[in-house]
Amino acid sequence: MPALRVLNECDVTQINGWPSYTGDMEQMDYALREKGWLHECRLRPGVFLYAVEDGDDLIGFTILEKTDTAEAEFRIALRPDRTGLGLGESITSKTLQIGFEEHRFSRIHLIVRKNNTRGIKLYLRIGFVDRGECRREIQGVLVDFRLMEMSREEFTRMRIMRNAGEFDEINSASPS
């Protein structure tokens, strides 16, 4: 089970050296590179960077960047060989928990590329609410995004529902 910890400079160097994304993820490769997300965010105030480890193996990172008094933007990147393995849900949930419980954000939002159907489905399943579309320039190219957000209350409600579902599964699997 992946664990989060505070990201350090050695992690950044390692991430910059990860292999490139390919296929439908190729457009995201810039996020891992020297002038990518970590370079863009790490020295700004109000940015919380987390390394994602599986044992001693660095497999990803997440970012919570404060955008208002009690709000933050969420970002996630996994090492290219760890995408598509079902890790995103638990990593995103752990990061949201830190954001809502430790940093006391009342709202966390994100943008996800419109063609990232896997990401959109994940965020909706976790409980993010789709708030519309926007267009941003990324490396000189206009890119279409979905805007999504979650409130602390929605996160708490989703956790309660998820825990109740797990409880129901355990009870239905128990012999009578």
Q: Which long-range contacts (CB under 8 A, 24 or more apart) does 24-31 make?
A: 24/115, 24/116, 25/80, 25/83, 27/113, 27/143, 28/77, 28/113, 30/138, 30/139, 31/75, 31/77
List the domains of the chain with CATH numbers: 3-173 (3.40.630.30)
0.85 surpassed by pTM:
yes
Which tens digit of pLDDT belongs to each residue from 140-171? 889 999 999 999 999 999 888 877 765 455 44
Checking if the pLDDT of 173 tops 80, the result is no
Tens of pLDDT, residues 81-139: 998 888 999 999 999 999 999 999 999 999 999 999 989 999 999 999 999 999 998 88
